[in-house]
Chain A
Amino acid sequence: MNRKKLQKLTDSLTKNCKHFSKFEVKCLINLFYNLVGEVTERQGVIIGLDRNAFRNILHMTFGMTDDMIMDRVFRGFDKDNDGCISVTEWVYGLSVFLRGTLEEKMKYCFEVFDLNGDSFISKEEMFHMLKNSLLKQPSEEDPDEGIKDLVEITLKKMDHDHDGKLSFADYEQAVREETLLLEAFGPCLPDPKVSLQHLCCHHSLAVP
């Protein structure tokens, strides 16, 4: 990519992204192209990170382990649903991921947790996300019993309109009461410690 084009891209991305400085955007763009590798730009071929590459980054850099959540994070980044994260999606996504305000993070997390995209987190979805959250139950009747109970507890805590599922409003209210519930169904944001490490690696990315 020539310098002029890069400059233009940097400028446009910086303009639309309030959490990163111009220098940081530039670094991120460079990082993106480093990660994608030397692919010659051709018409019709989308340049970007595919699912596996992205999951690899999530795992290596941000220490995420949950497959399902990582998939969901990928979906969260991949706004145009083309199975590939473009440079724009990369910068915008990281902007929320690393420096998002609470509002942005809530929106992002809710999207991650809303597995089927119907703007509700249903009991089934919760069950699905929490099913590995309890370690081996000591010989108890139904191994799923605990998970079901946990789902009920969560609903009791968060479902303010008592319709048996979480709307964004429910979720938002619960998070505003208790910020710990932001990642209620699994870690989908970088751990504060990890992002500091991230900063060390790339000199420019930091969560405030």
Chain B
Amino acid sequence: MGVALTRSAQWTAAGHGAKTLEVTPLNEAIVKEIIMFVESFIYKYPQEANYVFVEPLEWKTNLDPSAFGSGYAVSGTTVKSEEADKNGEPLLYLSVPQIKIRSFGQLSRMLYIAKNMKLKEAQACIEANRNPVAKILGLDYNIISEKIGNSFVSNILDKITKDDDSESEIKMKIALQLKQLDLHLLNHSLKHISLEIRLNPGTVKNDIELLKQFSGKGKQTVLESIEYTSDYEFSNGCRAPPWRQIKGEICYVLVKPHDAETLCVTCSKEGVFLNGGKTDDEGQINYERKGEIYKDLVTLLKEKSAIFSENMSKQEIKFSEQPQKDQPNEAPKEEVAITHKASVTSRKSTQEKNRINLGRSQLTKRLEPSLNWRTSVSSKDRNTLRDTQVEKHGGKLEKSRSSVSPGRAQLIRKSVEKIEEIISDSSSESEEDEEQPDHRQEANADLPSEYWQIQKLVKYLKGGNQTATVIALCSMKDFNLAQETCQLAIRDVGGLEVLINLLETDEVKCKIGSLKILKEISHNPQIRRNIVDLGGLPVMVNILDSPHKSLKCLAAETIANVAKFRRARRVVRRHGGITKLVALLDCGKHSGEPAQSSLYETRDVEVARCGALALWSCSKSYANKEAIRKAGGIPLLARLLKTSHENMLIPVVGTLQECASEENYRAAIKAERIIENLVKNLNSENEQLQEHCAMAIYQCAEDEETRDLVRLHGGLKPLASLLNNTDNKERLAAVTGAIWKCSISKENVTKFREYKAIETLVGLLTDQPEEVLVNVVGALGECCQEHENRVIIRRCGGIQPLVNLLVGINQALLVNVTKAVGACAVEPESMMIIDRLDGVRLLWSLLKNPHPDVKASAAWALCPCIQNAKDAGEMVRSFVGGLELVVNLLKSDNKEVLASVCAVITNIAKDQENLAVITDHGVVPLLSKLANTNNDKLRRHLAETISRCCMWGRNRVAFGEHKAVAPLVRYLKSNDTNVHRATAQALYQLSEDADNCVTMHENGAVKLLLDMVGSPDEELQEAAAGCISNIRRLALAIEKARYS
């Protein structure tokens, strides 16, 4: 009981003399439990009920002496119980208003007498006797029972046997009973507490935001105004000063209801209550609680303001009218529906409703304590992302990991940055899904000493003149600004606002100092976002116009750091930052007096470098790429590329590489003769520079002329030699990419063979990250187009790793691998190896891949396999369900897939038995359905397939029945000779059937075929002639029949 009373019961704050129990539901429940215990005591334990307390329980009672009846001696203002102890002292003695009771029996009776005053009496008793156990059993027992706790019952029994007298036995029993009561009370209060919802800063903030939306003048609103007393929000979301936060207070709000005075309300974790209000003179808040605790702000306001409660209930009706939707995108639909029947004014209110709905769902979301990663990356990427995030933030983690393998950690981090770029590249700019949640330092967590030092410095920044500010800035710079604690400390004490404000002053020195700090701390992704939120970017963009060069440099460098995410890049563009940054690139044009030109030059170069750095960051957004081009950035970048400063070249090439994803840029890069310099820089010593150059070549080499330029400028040799260094995976990926694209040109492949690059590429087929593999396999696929190279690959043992890669899941990789395997399969010797490795089966199963590119690529690869495999027919038949799968692919709507599948079917149909099977699977109607197409590639392969399929049964007739003939005739009007040849062959086969001949003749095939007979292509000649002869023969036969 003692523990429950001291710990759980809620006593009023100290400092009011005697403590009293607060009127709270919890306290009431505790007192009731105690009353029940005492009331039943006399029945349950009659013997113990007679036990006389060591000291009487004494308190001021409200009981009237007249209430006591039999068993008591009542005389005026005193009452004595007839029951007395050994010494004749009465067990109950009342002399108004003091009452003394010395046994449970008397306590029970007293409560019985008190009737409906029970609660008050019990409370008064507990308040007056703060340690009842000690009074009942004596101090020593109190201590003993505390020590015993509830576990060592055996100890108690020991003691009983030792003492060996009845009184102590009774005492022990009572002690046990009290102990049990205590436990019971604790459990009970625990239940109570767990029922209570404790507020947190998030929910409070949401409540207030919500109410703010409904505040204002007019009777419709719920409140006149609601605002915080302090604008400053701490990192944990609280606005109360730290020394009050310890008490669980979150913030103070001034609420002006329509029908009451302004209320000053404290929102604390326990609940919401009125405080002493704001004192007028100093604006300080009297924190003392002045009213009851309510469970939240709305409940309090409902109690205090009638209009609030009335208007609020209206709003709630509106809520209930509208079913709660989880998806906010449902809202507009409803809005439309409502506006149909409602006037403009009511439309406004529906909008408000929707807003509330959003607020509500957000509210529920906020309650979850999870960090939600809303980036739309696949789960795998997400994991790596999170890993590195952890790595970046958790200092300890980073240490342990980097000790394992620094290279690998760096790689992961880089690849994550890549992922981020890809995300921001591919998705449209209007979305904001990339925002990461802030993770802030716990308010009461152990703050490092730096925190307080930085707080002090920020204070001087705020309240100092220029001199003091510069000193404070310089001192702040001495902190380890690369460390996250310091970065966040600056933000959390409000330093970011001050630093950004300083940028708007006229003081150059303050601006420089401030930017020097911002530049460092903006390496932190959270700080970047905070800077953007505080409107730091427009100010920095303006500084780019400053005549002061070092200021320009710092501003550009800081922008480079901040503009790592999409929203920031957009802000830079919207404020004309791109044009200004491009202008920075224009250095050296107006160099000053000759005497100081060298000094001027280095400073100008520095400015240009910083400009390029910022553009590099910005160039990750599509719209910015356009803006850079429009601002005339490309010629300037081209000029800077001719310089020899390495740290200048990296951002310049980086920007170009980033921008080369756009067709416009590729053309411009060619026109500005940039390739030459890119190639030159491949020979640089700097790995990063090499990487970006290779990357730029990779992007540009889609263009044939560019590929030739790379060769002419001698770029292939450095690329080939860079293959030998495989430690830097990023660079390796870029280099292999460049090789892949360059090897699309045959001349380049020859060069690569000279440089022994193909052997090296085969060596890279194992133990490489996927981004490298994709490029390596792509390059090999291009090389395999030539016989010599195929031999080299086979000899180097390249086929096995290639076939092994067929089981991957990376789509880009699969497309390239299938292409490479298909190219190898052209060689019968290689085909044997592929067959042995079960490569055909793997290719065949890729036909089930969900992505059309993979399907098509796999189908193309199957063609040479079937051509060159021994016992191809038998092999194809051995794939269970394989033929059906292929035939069903004819239902695809992707032209490339259809063309490739037609090609596969052509090869399958070479085997009579298989042709029979696919005919049974209904290949004829499916092919006929495809006949009406304008795609020449599909036309060619379709015609080939049809001609091949005519070889079985009555398929010729069936094609005629399914109306495939007329469209085929039209193919002859195409411009493609390949189509002509295939079509003529198909028509020749079809013309074996008389009805088809009639159709052909009707569609004017004869004239078209006659032209074809004059073609230099012999096969075409032959087929066309054959077809004509079939048609002619039929005509003759008809004539003969007519005349005979």
Interface size counted on chain B using CB atoms at 8 A:
26
Contact B465 A134, beta carbon cutoff 8 Å:
yes
Give A185 to B469 CA distance when docked, in angstroms.
11
Contact of A137 with B by CB under 8 A: yes
Among residues of B, the one whose C-beta sits closest to the C-beta of A136 is B463
Task: Type the 1/0 row for A128-155, where 1 means its CB is closer than 8 Å to any CB of B.
Answer: 0110111111000000001001100110
- Measured between beta carbons, the chain B residues less than 8 angstroms from A184 are 467, 470-471
Binds A, one of B504-512, B643-651, B852-860: B504-512
Task: Type the 1/0 row for A100-121, where 1 means its CB is closer than 8 Å to any CB of B.
Answer: 0000000000000000000000
Q: Which listed residue (A134, A136, A180, A196) contacts B470, Cβ 8 A?
A: A180
Contact A181 B474, beta carbon cutoff 8 Å:
yes
Contact B466 A157, beta carbon cutoff 8 Å:
no
Contact of A192 with B by CB under 8 A: yes
Q: For residue B472, give the distance in angstroms from its CB to the closest CB of chain A.
A: 7
- Measured between beta carbons, the chain A residues less than 8 angstroms from B468 are 130, 133-134, 150
Instruction: Given the known inter-chain contacts A156-B475, A157-B475, A191-B508, please indicate yes or no for A181 contacting B463, CB distance below 8 A.
Output: no
Contact of B478 with A by CB under 8 A: yes
Contact of A178 with B by CB under 8 A: yes
Q: Which listed residue (A133, A146, A157, A185) contacts B478, Cβ 8 A?
A: A157
Give A153 to B475 CA distance when docked, in angstroms.
7
- Measured between beta carbons, the chain A residues less than 8 angstroms from B466 are 187
Give A134 to B467 CA distance when docked, in angstroms.
9
Contact B473 A135, beta carbon cutoff 8 Å:
no
- Measured between beta carbons, the chain A residues less than 8 angstroms from B596 are 208
Contact of A8 with B by CB under 8 A: no
Q: Which listed residue (B457, B464, B473) contacts A133, Cβ 8 A?
A: B464
Q: Which listed residue (A132, A135, A183, A187) contacts B463, Cβ 8 A?
A: A135
Contact of B756 with A by CB under 8 A: no
**Prevailing SS type, chain B contact patch:** helix
Give A45 to B815 CA distance when docked, in angstroms.
97
Contact A133 B475, beta carbon cutoff 8 Å:
no
Contact of B456 with A by CB under 8 A: yes
Contact A180 B512, beta carbon cutoff 8 Å:
yes
Contact A183 B512, beta carbon cutoff 8 Å:
no
Instruction: Given the known inter-chain contacts A149-B456, A154-B471, please indicate yes or no for A192 contacting B464, CB distance below 8 A.
Output: no
- Measured between beta carbons, the chain B residues less than 8 angstroms from A180 are 470, 473-474, 509, 512-513
Give A130 to B466 CA distance when docked, in angstroms.
11
- Measured between beta carbons, the chain A residues less than 8 angstroms from B464 are 133-135, 150
Among residues of A, the one whose C-beta sits closest to the C-beta of B551 is A192
B456, B460, B463, B468: which has the most chain A beta carbons within 10 Å? B468
Contact B467 A185, beta carbon cutoff 8 Å:
yes
Give A135 to B471 CA distance when docked, in angstroms.
15
Give A208 to B459 CA distance when docked, in angstroms.
35
Contact of B548 with A by CB under 8 A: yes
Contact of B477 with A by CB under 8 A: yes
Instruction: Given the known inter-chain contacts A184-B470, A184-B471, please indicate yes or no for A132 contacting B508, CB distance below 8 A.
Output: no
Chain A 146-193 interface residues, beta-carbon cutoff 8 Å to B? 146, 149-150, 153-154, 156-157, 178, 180-181, 183-187, 191-193
- Measured between beta carbons, the chain B residues less than 8 angstroms from A146 are 459-460, 463
A135, A137, A153, A157: which has the most chain B beta carbons within 10 Å? A153
Give A192 to B509 CA distance when docked, in angstroms.
10
Task: Type the 1/0 row for A184-208, where 1 means its CB is closer than 8 Å to any CB of B.
Answer: 1111000111001000000000001
A132, A133, A135, A208: which has the most chain B beta carbons within 10 Å? A133
- Measured between beta carbons, the chain A residues less than 8 angstroms from B456 are 149
Give A146 to B462 CA distance when docked, in angstroms.
12
- Measured between beta carbons, the chain A residues less than 8 angstroms from B457 are 153
Give A154 to B473 CA distance when docked, in angstroms.
11
- Measured between beta carbons, the chain B residues less than 8 angstroms from A191 are 508
- Measured between beta carbons, the chain A residues less than 8 angstroms from B460 are 134, 146, 149-150, 153
Give A150 to B464 CA distance when docked, in angstroms.
10
Q: For residue B705, give the distance in angstroms from its CB to the closest CB of chain A.
A: 48
- Measured between beta carbons, the chain A residues less than 8 angstroms from B470 are 180-181, 183-184
Contact B467 A183, beta carbon cutoff 8 Å:
yes
Q: For residue B978, give the distance in angstroms from its CB to the closest CB of chain A.
A: 73
Q: For residue A167, give the distance in angstroms from its CB to the closest CB of chain B.
A: 18
- Measured between beta carbons, the chain B residues less than 8 angstroms from A196 are 547
- Measured between beta carbons, the chain B residues less than 8 angstroms from A136 are 463
Q: For residue A29, give the distance in angstroms from its CB to the closest CB of chain B.
A: 23
Q: For residue B457, give the distance in angstroms from its CB to the closest CB of chain A.
A: 7
Task: Type the 1/0 row for B897-932, where 1 means its CB is closer than 8 Å to any CB of A.
Answer: 000000000000000000000000000000000000
Task: Type the 1/0 row for B492-526, where 1 means its CB is closer than 8 Å to any CB of A.
Answer: 00000000000000101100110000000000000
Among residues of A, the one whose C-beta sits closest to the C-beta of B463 is A135
Q: For residue B84, give the distance in angstroms from its CB to the closest CB of chain A.
A: 66
- Measured between beta carbons, the chain A residues less than 8 angstroms from B472 are 150, 153
- Measured between beta carbons, the chain A residues less than 8 angstroms from B506 are 193
- Measured between beta carbons, the chain B residues less than 8 angstroms from A157 are 471, 474-475, 478
Chain B 431-489 interface residues, beta-carbon cutoff 8 Å to A? 456-457, 459-460, 463-468, 470-475, 477-478
Among residues of A, the one whose C-beta sits closest to the C-beta of B468 is A133
Task: Type the 1/0 row for B25-51, where 1 means its CB is closer than 8 Å to any CB of A.
Answer: 000000000000000000000000000
Give A192 to B511 CA distance when docked, in angstroms.
13
Contact B465 A132, beta carbon cutoff 8 Å:
yes
Among residues of A, the one whose C-beta sits closest to the C-beta of B457 is A153
Q: For residue A45, give the distance in angstroms from its CB to the closest CB of chain B.
A: 39
Contact B467 A130, beta carbon cutoff 8 Å:
yes
- Measured between beta carbons, the chain A residues less than 8 angstroms from B471 are 130, 150, 153-154, 157, 181, 184
A132, A137, A178, A192: which has the most chain B beta carbons within 10 Å? A178
Contact B477 A193, beta carbon cutoff 8 Å:
no
Q: For residue B502, give the distance in angstroms from its CB to the closest CB of chain A.
A: 12
Q: List 5 A-B contacts (CB under 8 A).
A: A130-B468, A150-B460, A180-B470, A185-B467, A187-B466
A137-B463, A154-B471 known, 13 other contacts, Cβ within 8 Å: A133-B464, A133-B468, A134-B464, A135-B464, A149-B460, A153-B457, A157-B475, A157-B478, A178-B474, A180-B473, A180-B474, A181-B471, A191-B508
Q: Which residues of A contact B (CB under 8 A)?
A: 129-130, 132-137, 146, 149-150, 153-154, 156-157, 178, 180-181, 183-187, 191-193, 196, 208
Minimum-distance CB pairs A-B, first 3: A133-B468, A135-B463, A133-B467
